Structure 1
Amino acid sequence: MSTLNYIGNLLGIKAEYIKNMRETSSEYLLYVESPVRPHRCPNCHSQTTRIKGYTNRKIQHTTTNEKTILLLYRQRRYICTCGRTFNEKTEFSSRYLRTTPRLREVICQQLSEVTSYKAVAKHCHVSVNQVLRVFNEINYSRPSTLPPVLSIDEFKGNAAGQKYQVILTDPETHKILDILPKRDTTELAKYFAQFPRYIRNNVKYITMDMSLQFRSVMKTWFPQAEIVVDRFHLIRLVTFALERVRKVEQNLLCNVSRTFKANKRVLTKRFESLTDKEFTKLMDMFHYSPRLHRAYTLKQSFSHVLKFKDKENIQWAIDQWLSLVEASELPEFQSLLKTFTFWRTEIINALTLPYSNGFTEGCNNKIKVLKRCSFGLQNFERFRNRILFINAKKGHATTVSHVLSKSA
């Protein structure tokens, strides 16, 4: 295989198009010219091979060995018998663009990863504005339907002047459905009102954290769905109550406050997984603070509540645990009595149904990484499309080809 054939296969350009190659200190120059072939006139639709003239174009291709690849393209201009002139068409050039479809495809592939626009521009040796122009061709419309299991959560997006945005996901298929610009109740109502009633009635379960706002909106627009509290947030309520007791004891017992501060992770670790050294530290804290001992006992007993799977036993276990909380006389745990009573149905659903906000929380974490490496994203529409584009595992090729065909 000749050198030009190898280079052509590497760059996705036919070897017969490459006439010569030259290397400089910062770039590779490829002189390309397509063979003469019949072209159809856009005016009368007849075929012609008559050449009127040539135009020299400089088109940026991909990069290799940290050098830019430029195509010096000698483009023909054909003339038809009707008098209409037009440029020839090739797979490595597009009208009004100085980049090849291959380069735009590489840009889109880079944007499918959690990285900044500036990093993509540096990798592809183009400007940030060029990357934005390519990505602006990618748009996601509102979903036309809703899944049987719907998950809703908020995240700190700081886009479009709003502190919080809302994410909707399908936890069963691990797909992000949409990103909403506001956490406002009116805006949520307007969004869900766009879906017909029969589509909203198809939603059977909704997973969320313990947000009164979300519960009010979802009960209004999804009356047929059962609300499921996320188990992580449920366990966190008990863990936070234990932490509040530890902080109070740490502030009261100044002489041994270091013991409570340095060993706070021992309190949240599973009792069965404690090492001998950790068990000794735990007993030391209980020696100084009987209140912390009672709080830890409540936390451990709640872990036994989570082991029940049938609805009747879970209701009985929750009632028994709440009676222990009431008898403990710990002010830090008393707020749980009201919470577990107010969210009783949703908590029982959380312990009996296999649905949670785990996938949604993972998406929120990826969004935080994207924000951090990009130093914030202010344009909400671009922010939304970027999140959906990163998550669209099977949609990358379709979307990229759509961008390339649109720009051609």
Structure 2
Amino acid sequence: MIHNDTYIEIYLETKKKICTCPNCNSKVTRVHDYRIQRIKDIPLFFKHTFIILKKRRYRCNACGKKFYEHIEFLPRYHRITNRLAMFVIYELSNEYSMTSVARKTNLSIDTIKRIFDNVSYSSPTNLPKIISIDEFKGNSGGSKYHCAIVDPVNHKILDIIKDRKEHILIDYFRKIKNRDSVTHFICDMWQPYIDLAKTYFKNAVIVIDKFHYIRQVIWAVEAVRKRIQRELSIKLRKYFKRSKKLILKRYGLLDTDSKLALQVMFSYNSELAIAHTLKEKLLSIIDASPSSNEARVLLKDWIKLAQNSGINELKRCANTYIRYFNEICNSFDIPYTNACIEGFNNKIKVIKRIAFGYRNFDRFRNRILHCCNK
């Protein structure tokens, strides 16, 4: 063995054994010659490692065929060991770029890609009873958005669909065998998802994720703040902008000084106070976690207050709630949300960013499933 500052060389020779001729299946013991082969192995002590293998070539006495001995850790025509290939696949299950893995293992990026392309995840033909669906920006395979289907109970990505276009989703879900056994379909406020669920998951209860309909109220309050601060002087405008977190944060979590600062902002315009009050009222309804029947009554009262507030931003929010009223109320009956899928989306963004994007959708899909479903 040679141990240098930059690399390690291990000299290896296997034991002589009886081989079978690949041509006539005769037993062969005669060695024709030897060959020295330099093979890459997993790094040791953070250094590149090479195995200097002395390979035997046998000669069959019956038919004259010459062939190399079979080596378990080295496939035919390969210059890297099996465990190095497995090490590459393991490293790619973490949020590492292919370039960094190539640098670590002393391989080229093309070799890393070829090794990882052997990893394949098939699409499911059956779905669990509760599924979540959401899109994320991908820019691979000619599609701007991809869709992720997640099992929120077991926190597992089931599959990645190439596009969120309706005809692609229809072609995908037509292949699912147990569509009638899906009991809950969780999605955001994108109408094609709801239309798809009504058509292909007839027994499923459609649920709008809490994060998405709460966000509508947050956006409405922010829109009111921005509209009001544009009408103020430059000094007050900066004050309103720097204090926006006071409006968005839960009132019960603010300290005394923050509450006083918030009251100062309300003194300049009553509409901001009304919007903040309605936001807190909606969050208190959600915190109470009533059943869907109780939530219907409470949400109807809240919608009336928003419509009668005289604030256009809240009126638009109320109209959105009316449009998806049944799906929003269904969210109070189950403890599952799209929080799991939003977490996966953040991890997908990391995978995409460290690679500076993916052009090949199949490789991008396999990398997501490989990293997120360890």
Check whether TM > 0.5: yes
Deviations 1:221-260 (A, max 9, x none): 1111111111011111111111111001111122521221
C-alpha separation between the residues in 2 aligned to 1:91 and 1:174?
37
1:95 to 67, 70, 76: 76
What is the Cα deviation at residue 25 of structure 1?
4.5
C-alpha separation between the residues in 1 aligned to 2:6 and 2:293?
73
Aligned to 1:212: 191
| 8 Å CA contact retained: 1:239, 1:299 | yes
Instruction: Please say if 1:330 is aligned against 2:311.
Output: yes
Deviations 1:14-48 (A, max 9, x none): xxxxxxx1234532221110011222333444433
Aligned to 2:266: 286
| 8 Å CA contact retained: 1:228, 1:355 | no
Aligned to 1:299: 279
For residue 224 of structure 1, give the secondary structure of its aligned residue in structure 2. Answer: coil
Deviations 1:301-330 (A, max 9, x none): 111211142222111111111111122111
Q: Where do residues 107-256 of structure 1 align in structure 2 (5 Å cutoff)?
A: 107-196=88-177, 199-254=178-233, 256=236
Mean Cα deviation higher: 117-126 or 41-50: 41-50
| 8 Å CA contact retained: 1:178, 1:388 | yes
What is the Cα deviation at residue 144 of structure 1?
2.2
2:60 to 80, 91, 105: 80
What letter matches 1:357 in structure 2?
N
For residue 177 of structure 1, give the secondary structure of its aligned residue in structure 2. Answer: strand
What percent of counterpart residues are identical? 36
What is the Cα deviation at residue 55 of structure 1?
1.5
What letter matches 2:131 in structure 1?
L
What is the Cα deviation at residue 388 of structure 1?
0.8
For residue 61 of structure 1, give the secondary structure of its aligned residue in structure 2. Answer: strand
What is the Cα deviation at residue 60 of structure 1?
0.6
For residue 351 of structure 1, give the secondary structure of its aligned residue in structure 2. Answer: coil
What letter matches 1:234 in structure 2?
Y
Aligned to 1:263: 243
What is the Cα deviation at residue 110 of structure 1?
0.8
For residue 331 of structure 2, give the secondary structure of its aligned residue in structure 1. Answer: helix
Instruction: Please say if 1:33 is aligned against 2:13.
Output: yes
C-alpha separation between the residues in 2 aligned to 1:177 and 1:105?
23
What letter matches 1:164 in structure 2?
Y
C-alpha separation between the residues in 2 aligned to 1:81 and 1:267?
89
Deviations 1:273-315 (A, max 9, x none): 1011211110100111111001111001111211142222111
What is the Cα deviation at residue 341 of structure 1?
1.4
C-alpha separation between the residues in 1 aligned to 2:306 and 2:6?
71
For residue 59 of structure 1, give the secondary structure of its aligned residue in structure 2. Answer: strand
C-alpha separation between the residues in 1 aligned to 2:292 and 2:331?
11
Deviations 1:250-273 (A, max 9, x none): 111225212211110011111111
C-alpha separation between the residues in 2 aligned to 1:305 and 1:331?
22
C-alpha separation between the residues in 1 aligned to 2:152 and 2:330?
16
Q: Where do residues 20-59 of structure 1 align in structure 2 (5 Å cutoff)?
A: 21-59=1-39
What is the Cα deviation at residue 164 of structure 1?
0.7
1:349 to 319, 330, 333: 330
Identify if the C-alpha distance between structure 1 residues 80 and 322 changes in structure 2 by more than 3 Å, giving closer, same or farther.
same
C-alpha separation between the residues in 2 aligned to 1:311 and 1:179?
31
| 8 Å CA contact retained: 2:124, 2:176 | no
C-alpha separation between the residues in 2 aligned to 1:265 and 1:237?
16
C-alpha separation between the residues in 1 aligned to 2:261 and 2:72?
70
What is the Cα deviation at residue 186 of structure 1?
0.8
Identify if the C-alpha distance between structure 1 residues 161 and 40 changes in structure 2 by more than 3 Å, giving closer, same or farther.
same
1:361 to 334, 338, 342: 342
For residue 236 of structure 2, give the secondary structure of its aligned residue in structure 1. Answer: helix
C-alpha separation between the residues in 2 aligned to 1:51 and 1:26?
35
C-alpha separation between the residues in 1 aligned to 2:184 and 2:293?
20
What is the Cα deviation at residue 86 of structure 1?
2.4
Aligned residues: 371
C-alpha separation between the residues in 2 aligned to 1:167 and 1:359?
11
